[in-house]
Amino acid sequence: MTEARRTVDILVVGAGPAGMAAAVRARESGRGVLVLDDNPAPGGQIWRGGQEHSPSARASSWFAKMAASGAQVIAGARIVDGDAKRQCLTVEMPDSAFEVSYDKLILATGARELFLPFPGWTIPGVMGVGGLQALVKSGLPVTGKRIVVAGSGPLLLAAAAYFRAHGAIVPIVAEQAPVSRLAPFASRLAKHPGKLFQAAALRLALHRSRYRSSCWAIRASETERLESVQLQQHNRVWLEPCEYLAVAYGFISNVELAVLMQCQTGAAGVRVNDLQETSQNQIYCAGECTGIGGVDLSIIEGEIAGYAASGRDDLAGNLFKKRDKARQFAAALESAFALRDELRSLADAGTIICRCEDVTRERLEPMRSWRSAKLQTRCGMGPCQGRICGPILEFLLGLHPESVRPPVFPARVETLLRQEEETRPT
Amino acid sequence: MAEMISLSINGVSIRVPAGTMVAAAVLIAGETMFRRSVSGEARGPLCGMGVCFECRVTIDEAPHCRSCQIICRDGMKVRTG
Ligand SMILES: Cc1cc2nc3c(=O)[nH]c(=O)nc-3n(C[C@H](O)[C@H](O)[C@H](O)COP(=O)(O)OP(=O)(O)OC[C@H]3O[C@@H](n4cnc5c(N)ncnc54)[C@H](O)[C@@H]3O)c2cc1C
Ligand code: FES
């Protein structure tokens, strides 16, 4: 059992590229650093599975820097609550819980995939694009399996290549964006070598029949086990047999913990200044939780936050130009893969929107606010706490999620009790 | 070759490489239905990263474990449904 209370100079939440970069830079200035992550190993989404599974030279180099830095990492640690005034977080481990007080907090909680419902999206075998990729990285063999990849964004191509490299058959990659937006983006990419995916790969893909633009999944069947998916491109609709459908429409920033800590957010994610400082004193934010920008931007933001949190604003400042360039790329990415209106009508009246509570679209349609949706249908009240259905409701019906209430993740009763005991005045 | 470990999925014993995630082991065992939703629908993993809670299973009698975030241990008993 871990001790009930810890104190640290700089606490980093999230051991993805942004959190690792932040920890390494903060340690360079000699401060004590603790990194917490819910995943069983550091690496975040892109470098999932830790050092042994890290695919690139850059990943290996950050894992090495991290190991050499002396920053302490606790994996399998989920933050369930926090208090900005008392400068502490409540952490739940598989069989224990503790509180950490910090001098500075760096939030690097990353992003999750955006799912848009269509009839059949709840059938086992329909997964996220990064979701299925994560399972393959976690030991799921896909040799000889037929995987249809659909949705939007550069991850589609990267994941399709990954599945093929692991022996899967990927008959088609269905990208909702039109070629009129993708082609200019592809030529622009040539100026940014080593980005999310290679420029050449995208251009090649655009010329290959297996990569279809203006194409999306409209229905999946059967009910207990996926057998096929119906795809649409322009006026053509056809059935594509498959064992897995990997489908997602880009990413949503994980802002819940930042919101709980009373940091301001904007349309893209957590609001930060040049030094990656949030609106809350002592709290910094870096990586995809400040807006979707890819791994390069996440690393740069992490480095800036790490330097700034340890008082090295001068070193942070040296990275501003590099960050500007990465942000321009992120903006181009966003406009190339902007979501089309047709996707709002994929879900029919009977399609489930909230998967935790099985709430259908027709029950949500009359709702005028998140609050009434919650109270009248239980939408967003299940264990995912609106993480999956919240962004969907925003996209389909324009309902904005309300403030976050603790715990940010379902927590065990003992964790909450312990916390109550510790906040009680003595 | 990775070291192999044994666990049981719905009473059937399987061997997987050490380091395999429980969600992957369940699919390797041929189960696609991880849990029943509140209205009785079959569900399986969606996000693969611990946020959607669709991959919940019972592990060694503990219900509601997110199988995409837990690594298989030798002798583990996993139940779906
Ligand atoms: C499923 C998925 C797959 C992806 N695959 C790729 C890919 O193959 N290639 C690519 O270029 N990009 C990929 N991306 C995009 C990816 O998010 C970025 O490229 C990069 O990983 C961002 O780094 P980050 O450090 O900002 O966030 P992340 O890598 O997402 O790291 C955030 C970390 O914070 C942890 N965390 C969040 N909330 C809590 C909490 N409350 N308590 C404890 N820990 C918490 C998470 O467990 C996670 O490890 C993927 C994204 C997702 C969601
Ligand atoms: S698949 Fe989403 S929590 Fe496990």
Are A6-111+252-334 and A115-249 in the same CATH fold? yes
Contact between A140 and B28 using a beta-carbon 8 Å cutoff: yes
Higher pLDDT, A188 or A231: A231
Dist. CA A304–CA B11, nearest whole Å: 51
Torsion sign, CA atoms A46, A342, A168, A199: negative
Quick one: pLDDT at residue A405? 66
pTM listed for this prediction? 0.92
For the segment A78-130, what is each residue's pLDDT rounded down to a tens digit?
Answer: 999 999 999 999 999 988 899 999 999 999 999 999 999 999 999 999 999 99
Q: How many CA atoms lie within 13 A of A298 on its CB side?
A: 29
Ligand 1 pocket test: which of A109, A156, A289, A404 has the largest number of ligand atoms within 8 Å of its C-beta?
Answer: A109
Q: What are the residue boundaries of the structural domains of chain A, listed by start?
A: 6-111+252-334, 115-249, 342-426
For the segment A254-309, what is each residue's pLDDT rounded down to a tens digit?
Answer: 999 999 999 999 988 999 999 999 999 899 999 999 999 999 999 999 999 999 99
Tokens 């249908």 appear where?
A377
Least confident residue range of A175-179, A183-187, B59-63? A183-187
Q: ipTM value of the model?
A: 0.97
For residue B17, the domain's CATH number is 3.10.20.740
Architecture of domain A115-249 in this structure:
3-Layer(bba) Sandwich (3.50)
Residue A355, pLDDT > 50, answer yes
Dist. CA B2–CA A175, nearest whole Å: 37
For residue A91, give the ligand 1 atom closest to its CA.
42
The string over A43-82, giving b where at least 16 C-beta atoms fall within 10 Å of a residue's C-beta and e elsewhere, is bbbbbbbbbeebeeeebeebbebbeebebebbbbbbbbbb
Dist. CA A115–CA A86, nearest whole Å: 36
For residue A45, give the ligand 1 atom closest to its CA.
29
Dist. CA B36–CA A396, nearest whole Å: 26
CB atoms within 10 A of CB B38: 13
Contact between B43 and A124 using a beta-carbon 8 Å cutoff: yes
Yes or no: say if A328 and A322 are a contact pair by the CB < 8 Å rule: no
- DSSP characters over A278-338: -SSTTEEE-SGGGS--HHHHHHHHHHHHHHHHTT-HHHHHTTHHHHHHHHHHHHHHHHHTP
Tokens of residue A381, six digits: 């009240």
Residue B70, pLDDT > 60, answer yes
Q: Chain A residue with minimal CA distance to B39?
A: A358
CA distances from A83 to A222, A280, A405 (A): 46, 11, 12
Dist. CA A327–CA A287, nearest whole Å: 11
- DSSP characters over A7-30: EEEEEEE--SHHHHHHHHHHHHTT
Residue of A36, A127, A132, A224 to mutate when probing chain B, most B C-beta within 10 A: A127
A–B CB contacts, 8 A cutoff, strictly below: 114
Domain count, chain B: 1
Which superfamily, per CATH, for A6-111+252-334? FAD/NAD(P)-binding domain (3.50.50.60)
Contact between A131 and B33 using a beta-carbon 8 Å cutoff: no
CA A383, A385, A388: angle at the middle one, nearest 5? 100
Q: Chain B residue with minimal CA distance to A127?
A: B46
Quick one: pLDDT at residue A184? 81
Quick one: pLDDT at residue A411? 74
Yes or no: say if A10 and A106 are a contact pair by the CB < 8 Å rule: yes
Dist. CA A226–CA A147, nearest whole Å: 11
A1: confidence class by pLDDT, cuts 50, 70, 90: very low
For the segment A3-16, what is each residue's pLDDT rounded down to a tens digit?
Answer: 578 999 999 999 99
Q: Can you give the residue range of the structural domain that contains B49?
A: 4-79
Question: What is the mean pLDDT of the segment spanning B12-36?
Answer: 96
Dist. CA A46–CA A195, nearest whole Å: 13
Q: How confident is the prediction for chain A on average, in pLDDT?
A: 90
Directed axis angle between helix A17-28 and helix A57-69, to 10°?
40
DSSP SS3 for B53:
coil
- DSSP characters over A182-223: HHHHHHHHTTSTTSSS-HHHHHHHHHSTTEESSEEEEEEE-S
Residue A424, pLDDT > 50, answer no
